[in-house]
């Protein structure tokens, strides 16, 4: 029998409205008691004084490179990175090799990770090979455990295919997650199109590439009553389109990444390839729009778009480097620093956007902190300052623009599937 006693944790559970400081006793993976004070001599004791105990965080948008590119990230190293970042569940995008466009690949991911403390949930491709030509077997993928459908990394540009995908996904009440980017407006660009791109001589990607696809997709989703989710929203125009859709009662949601509410295109001036991501870092006005949309609830979730790349792939000229950065291990620190400690969100609202809302978008059951249910927690210290050191990342890749940054708010561990991952100070 295993027994863990977590003392004096600040428990915040948006699903039940719980917001209190109590002791929590977990026996054999189940919450056995929640009391003002618990004494259990046989339990392993952890002092949570000053820390938050929240329902396990869920990152609904990561890229683990297995199968096919394990030199960047395997399922195991990805899960280790997620645990170190405070996540008990992640949904992995289908741009693996081969693509997650069949039941065998989806089942491979579920089976290989079923004993990890972090639940790894496959997202099935919308189209075969993510080529945008022929619909993937969505019913088969759903039966194999897919929690959503996406061709992330590329946009479903064919409007008729998108319509059919929304109709099929709607049969399972699952979202179609769009990488919103017009390929013709995007072509050749490596950063946001604007004053900075012109001044440093790099080809730009206009906001319009994102805005037109989000506007088109919402029109299609409204026509078929589809469940539609915008991945990594980055432009003020796209956010405004989502706001309008929500006001009309459509089943439209969106997510934002920590780098899109933290950095701007000014950070590209040093040609650091770890500032190259897709969608690109945009302007200060866009960053403020992301924060305001998080505050007013238009943006539902915070997701990392964790995209590992090997060092040799990033250490090239800016134009030739791949898009993307790792993000799992800096997500809580950046979100606390940029959103909570600046007054845009409360800790309660942050937990909603990193735990409750992503699970609801993916139609996963709420995690509840109450006696008699399996323990699934994230622990973090909201005030602890720490310096990002990429060399200490659990991820196999180290491509982050935040190395050396001082953050306020740090993940301290997770408990899930009867396993505790505790991060020492």
Catalytic residues: 305
Identify the CA nearest to 63 among candidates 360, 282, 341, 328.
Answer: 328
CA torsion sign, 138 to 144 to 148 to 149? negative
Residues 6+ apart with CB under 8 A from 368: 13, 15, 16, 55
Find the helix or strand (DSSP H, E) in which 284 lies: helix 284-295
Give the end-to-end CA distance of the chain in Å, rounded to a whole number.
28
Residues 6+ apart with CB under 8 A from 282: 192, 207, 234, 235, 260, 264, 265
The alpha carbon of residue 227 and the mean position of all alpha carbons in its chain are separated, in whole angstroms, by 18
Q: In the chain, count H helices and then E strands.
A: 13, 18
Strands, DSSP E only, in 181-262?
Answer: 191-192, 204-205, 228-230, 252-256
Return d(Cα 296, Cα 282) in angstroms, integer.
Answer: 21
Strands, DSSP E only, in 194-332?
Answer: 204-205, 228-230, 252-256, 301-302
The alpha carbon of residue 59 and the mean position of all alpha carbons in its chain are separated, in whole angstroms, by 3
Alpha helices in 86-194 (DSSP H): 103-112, 138-143, 159-171, 183-186
């Amino acid at each position: 029998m295993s027994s863990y006693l977590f003392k004096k944790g600040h428990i915040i559970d948006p699903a039940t409205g719980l917001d209190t400081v109590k002791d929590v006793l977990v026996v054999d993976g189940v919450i056995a008691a929640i009391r003002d004070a618990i004494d259990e001599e046989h339990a392993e004791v952890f002092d949570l004084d000053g820390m938050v105990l929240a329902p396990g965080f869920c990152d609904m948008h990561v890229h683990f490179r297995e199968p096919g590119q394990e030199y960047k990230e395997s399922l195991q190293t990805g899960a280790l990175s997620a645990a170190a970042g405070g996540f008990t569940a992640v949904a992995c995008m289908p741009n693996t090799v081969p693509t997650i466009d069949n039941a065998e690949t989806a089942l491979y991911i579920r089976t290989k990770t079923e004993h990890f403390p972090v639940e790894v949930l496959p997202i099935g491709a919308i189209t075969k090979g993510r080529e945008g030509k022929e619909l993937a077997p969505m019913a088969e993928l759903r039966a194999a455990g897919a929690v959503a459908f996406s061709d992330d990394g590329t946009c479903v540009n064919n409007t008729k295919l998108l319509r059919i995908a929304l109709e099929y996904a709607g049969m399972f009440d699952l979202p179609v997650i769009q990488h919103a980017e017009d390929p013709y407006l995007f072509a050749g660009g490596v950063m946001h199109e604007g004053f900075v791109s012109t001044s440093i001589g790099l080809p730009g990607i206009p906001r319009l590439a994102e805005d037109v696809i989000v506007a088109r997709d919402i029109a299609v989703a409204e026509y078929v009553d589809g469940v539609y989710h915008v991945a990594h929203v980055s432009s003020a125009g796209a956010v405004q389109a989502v706001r309008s859709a929500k006001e009309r009662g459509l089943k439209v949601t969106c997510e934002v990444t920590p780098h899109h509410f933290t950095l701007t295109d000014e950070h590209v001036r040093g040609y650091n390839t770890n500032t190259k991501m897709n969608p690109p870092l945009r302007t200060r006005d866009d960053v403020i729009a992301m924060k305001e949309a998080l505050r007013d609830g238009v943006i539902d979730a915070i997701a990392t778009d964790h995209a590992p790349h090997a060092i040799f792939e990033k250490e090239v000229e800016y134009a030739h480097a791949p898009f993307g950065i790792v993000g799992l291990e800096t997500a809580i620190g950046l979100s606390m620093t940029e959103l909570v400690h600046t007054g845009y969100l409360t800790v309660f609202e942050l937990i909603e956007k990193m735990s409750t809302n992503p699970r609801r978008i993916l139609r996963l059951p709420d995690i509840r902190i109450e006696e008699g249910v399996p323990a699934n927690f994230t622990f973090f210290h909201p005030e602890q300052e720490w310096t990002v050191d990429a060399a200490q990342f659990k991820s196999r890749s180290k491509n982050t623009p935040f190395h050396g940054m001082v953050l306020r708010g740090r993940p301290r561990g997770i408990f899930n599937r009867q396993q505790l991952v505790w991060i020492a100070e």
